[in-house]
Each structure stands twice: as structure tokens, then as C-alpha cells.
């Protein structure tokens, strides 16, 4: 198949999933065309069957905001026409699904073949951005205009149907991880760079947006550290980073916390950790949590979110109520202070991740879905 993929190219779950999906599809012999304003994060090497088409915006004094969405739609139509795309696969509804719709209308107008549009919903496009009153109608329209819809969890599929009153089928295709990269401790992982032998290493990866509740991460860590000597490894960047640093200083934890900023190869660091914290308010799936599990790191997450689909409470981690940092710290300590339990959780983490979210399984699900949509078995 010939597949066009558009995603946000910056560090973030939806861009990572889209990029790795494209790479895996290209490995399986499909022709993949990425269309975006920058080379996607993690698309860091040449690969046969894989091409990147840059979308350039035009500056003009009249344009207070350069119309990226129009240029993107025009580029999508251009790539579809020149490379005979079968599918335009959009990651994140806003504005990508809308641009794909526009591209398809342009192709129809010029009498060219029109690719099928598949939109993958990732989370905040539905739970935060799309449901904002200013975006609601256009998000709903663009979702309904897609030929196929997938969501990264059952939780998100239900939310989408509920919030947007969508009647179409939404195929659930979970996030996945590359098992050749995300695996338990490798020689590359230099734990001694971050923590002493007798200290626990706690980790958190996110884009430091309010929805991630990084203040809770600090609170949980403070409680853990007051019971057992520990270090906290923070990976990522975002709007709450300043607040987070301030909180760490206020609590006198500066010498206990290590900031690594954005990292393109988190698999080199993650396996060093003893525990992963993701106390998000909303999480449609939690790709970072999955990557931690795959590295043999138990996860403390939040109930009532999509994380219930990967964290088995009391088996490979714990699920606590949003904001209940006391319960999250107690759950963390129950794992860290019991070496036998810790080992069992680590083992279960790898087993559950590998069994349910391995690349082969999930890429085959996407391939099957592409075939279903192309065969007219639309959602």
C-alpha cells in the first residue's frame, strides 16, 4: 500500500506512534510518505520505502498567522496525486483530519483518485482541545468525514462517542513499543550516573503540561524519599517545567532530582529506573508508561484513565485516584521496600507489555484496518 502520514513532528506520544508506525510499515514493504512542517522526532535515519515531504508556510504581511493548515492540505493533495496514495493516515484530529478532508475535496475537483482518510485519535485532541467549544463542531465534522477511525484505547473510543455523539465504529488499536529498543536493563544503561547503589531511582517522562500533574510527581517523590533514599529522574520539557523546578527548590530536593530535558532515545535511560510515576489527570493510553513497563519498570498510574488498559493493578504497578499522592507514595513504597515483590512486578511488567502491545501484533492490526477501509468495510 502507499500511505501518507501526517502527525505533529515534535516530541509527544502521537508523533512517536505515527513515526514508529510509518517506520514499521516501510519495513514491511509499504511505501510511506510523511507530510509535516518538520521531520518527525525519532525519524532519525534513512530507511528504504520512507519519504518526508516538508510543508513550508508562506509569510506575508497580511497574514498575522501563516495559514499552515491550507498549505498542509495543498501538500497532501499534491503528494496523493504524485504518489498515488491509497491512504491518508492522520494522527491527531485537529487540524490534520480537517486538512485531509480539504485535500480529498481538491482531488475530487481535479478528477484525481482520492485516498481513503483514516484518523487516529490520540487523546487530548478529544479530551481537551477538540471538546473546547471553539473546536467542537469542526472536530466532530472532521471525525465524521473520515473513512476510518481508530482510537488508542477503549477508554478514548468511549470518550469520543460520548463527547462527540459519534455513531460510527471506532476501531481500538493500542499504542505499541519496539521490543528491539525497549527492553530490561542493557549495558548502555549507566545507573551509577544517576543514583548510588543504595538509592532507588524513580522516573517520570512527559511534556510537562498541567494534565500530567507534575506537582503530584514531586509530592509522591518527596514522600518516597523521606522513607527510602531515592533520586528522581525527570525527562521532557513543557509549560510546567518552571513550576516544577520551583517546587523542587521549595521542598529542598534539588540534590535529589535530575532533569534530562527532551531525549530522543529514552530507552537508553528508562531501564535504569526502579519505578515510573505517571499521575496524570487524563491519559488516553500512556505511551511513556508502556515504554517503562517494556523496560521492566513497574508503573504507578491513575484509575479512570486509559492506563487501566495497560497497568494491571497490583500485578505490574498500581492505579490510584487522581490527586491521591499519599496512596501513590504508599503503593510505590510497597513495591520498593519488598525486593521479592519488586522482582515479580518487574517480570510482570515485561510480560504484559510484550504479550499485549508488541510491534508485530499492533502493526498487523493497522494493516488489517487499512485493508478493511480500502475494501469498503468502513467504520
Give the interface with ligand GMT as residue ranges (CB under 6 A): 12-15, 17, 92, 122-124, 152, 175, 207, 209, 211, 282-287
Least distance (Å) from ligand GMT to the CB of residue 7? 8
Distance CA 148, CA 172 (A): 11
Closest C-alpha to 44, from 16, 25, 72: 16
Closest CA to 213 of 261, 289, 277, 280: 280
Question: 346: exposed, middle or buried (C-beta count within 10 Å: 0-12, 13-18, 19+)?
Answer: buried
Task: Tell me how far, at minimum, the Cβ of 353 lies from ligand GMT, in Å.
Answer: 13
3-class secondary-structure state, position 30: coil
Q: Which is nearer to ligand GMT, 118 or 287 (CB)?
A: 287
Q: Which is nearer to ligand GMT, 106 or 287 (CB)?
A: 287
Smaller CB distance to ligand GMT: residue 206 or 230? 206
Q: Give whichever of 269 and 287 is closer to ligand GMT, judged by the CB atom.
A: 287
Closest to ligand GMT by CB, 229 or 239:
239
CB nearer to ligand GMT: pick between 285 and 370: 285
Task: Tell me how far, at minimum, the Cβ of 262 lies from ligand GMT, in Å.
Answer: 13
Minimal distance, residue 87 CB to ligand GMT, in Å? 19
Q: Which helix (H) or strand (E) holds 339?
A: helix 339-357
- The least CB distance from residue 5 to ligand GMT, in Å, is 14
Q: Smaller CB distance to ligand GMT: residue 17 or 322?
A: 17
CB of 176 to ligand GMT, least distance (A): 10
Taking the complex as a whole, the smallest distance from the CB of residue 113 to ligand GMT amounts, in Å, to: 30
- Give min distance, CB of 340 to ligand GMT, in A: 31
In the complex with ligand GMT, which residue's Cβ is closer, 195 or 328? Answer: 328
Please tell me the distance from the alpha carbon of residue 33 to that of residue 53, in angstroms, as a whole number.
7
Question: What order of strands is seen across the sheet that includes strand 2-6?
Answer: 50-54, 31-36, 2-6, 87-91, 116-121, 148-151, 171-172
Q: Is the dihedral of CA 179, 181, 182, 186 positive or negative?
A: positive
CA distances from 373 to 4, 6, 7, 95, 285 (A): 15, 18, 20, 22, 24
The strand ranges marked E within the chain are: 2-6, 31-36, 50-54, 87-91, 116-121, 148-151, 171-172, 200-205, 230-235, 257-261, 275-277, 299-302, 317-320
Question: Could you tell me which residues come within 8 angstroms of residue 273 by beta carbon, excluding any fewer than 6 positions away?
Answer: 201, 202, 203, 233, 292, 295, 297
Amino acid at each position: 500500500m502507499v500511505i501518507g502520514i501526517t502527525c505533529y513532528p515534535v516530541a509527544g506520544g502521537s508523533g512517536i506512534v505515527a513515526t514508529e508506525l510509518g517506520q514499521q510499515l516501510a519495513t514491511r514493504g509499504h511505501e510511506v510518505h510523511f507530510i509535516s512542517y518538520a521531520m518527525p522526532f525519532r525519524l532519525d535515519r534513512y530507511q528504504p520505502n520512507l519519504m518526508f515531504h516538508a510543508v513550508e508556510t508562506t509569510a506575508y504581511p497580511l497574514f498575522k498567522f501563516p495559514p499552515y493548515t491550507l498549505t498542509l492540505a495543498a501538500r497532501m493533495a499534491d503528494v496523493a496525486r504524485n504518489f498515488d496514495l491509497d491512504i491518508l493516515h492522520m494522527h491527531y484530529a485537529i487540524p490534520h483530519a480537517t486538512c485531509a478532508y480539504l485535500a480529498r475535496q481538491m482531488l475530487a475537483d481535479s478528477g484525481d483518485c482520492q485516498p481513503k482518510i483514516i484518523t487516529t485519535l490520540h487523546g487530548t485532541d478529544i479530551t481537551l482541545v477538540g471538546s473546547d467549544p471553539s473546536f467542537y463542531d469542526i472536530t466532530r465534522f472532521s471525525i465524521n468525514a473520515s473513512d476510518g477511525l481508530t482510537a488508542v484505547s477503549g477508554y478514548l473510543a468511549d470518550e469520543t462517542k460520548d463527547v462527540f455523539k459519534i455513531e460510527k465504529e471506532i476501531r481500538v488499536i493500542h499504542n505499541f513499543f519496539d521490543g528491539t529498543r525497549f527492553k530490561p536493563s542493557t549495558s548502555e544503561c549507566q545507573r551509577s550516573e544517576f543514583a548510588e547503589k543504595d538509592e532507588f531511582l524513580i522516573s517520570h517522562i512527559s511534556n510537562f503540561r498541567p494534565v500530567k500533574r507534575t506537582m503530584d510527581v514531586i509530592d509522591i517523590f518527596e514522600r518516597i524519599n523521606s522513607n527510602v533514599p531515592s533520586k528522581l529522574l525527570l525527562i521532557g520539557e513543557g509549560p510546567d517545567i518552571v513550576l516544577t523546578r520551583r517546587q523542587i527548590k521549595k521542598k529542598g530536593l534539588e540534590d535529589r532530582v535530575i532533569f534530562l530535558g527532551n531525549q530522543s532515545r529514552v530507552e537508553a535511560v528508562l531501564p535504569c529506573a526502579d519505578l515510573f510515576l505517571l499521575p496524570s489527570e487524563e491519559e488516553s493510553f500512556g505511551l511513556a508508561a508502556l515504554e517503562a513497563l517494556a523496560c521492566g519498570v513497574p508503573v504507578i498510574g491513575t484509575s479512570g484513565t486509559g492506563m487501566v488498559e495497560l497497568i494491571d493493578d497490583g500485578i505490574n504497578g498500581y492505579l490510584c485516584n487522581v490527586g491521591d499522592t499519599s496512596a501513590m507514595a504508599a503503593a510505590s513504597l510497597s513495591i520498593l521496600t519488598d525486593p521479592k515483590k519488586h522482582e515479580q512486578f518487574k517480570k510482570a511488567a515485561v510480560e504484559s507489555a510484550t504479550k499485549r502491545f508488541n510491534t508485530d501484533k499492533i502493526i498487523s492490526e493497522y494493516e488489517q484496518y487499512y485493508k478493511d477501509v480500502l475494501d469498503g468495510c468502513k467504520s
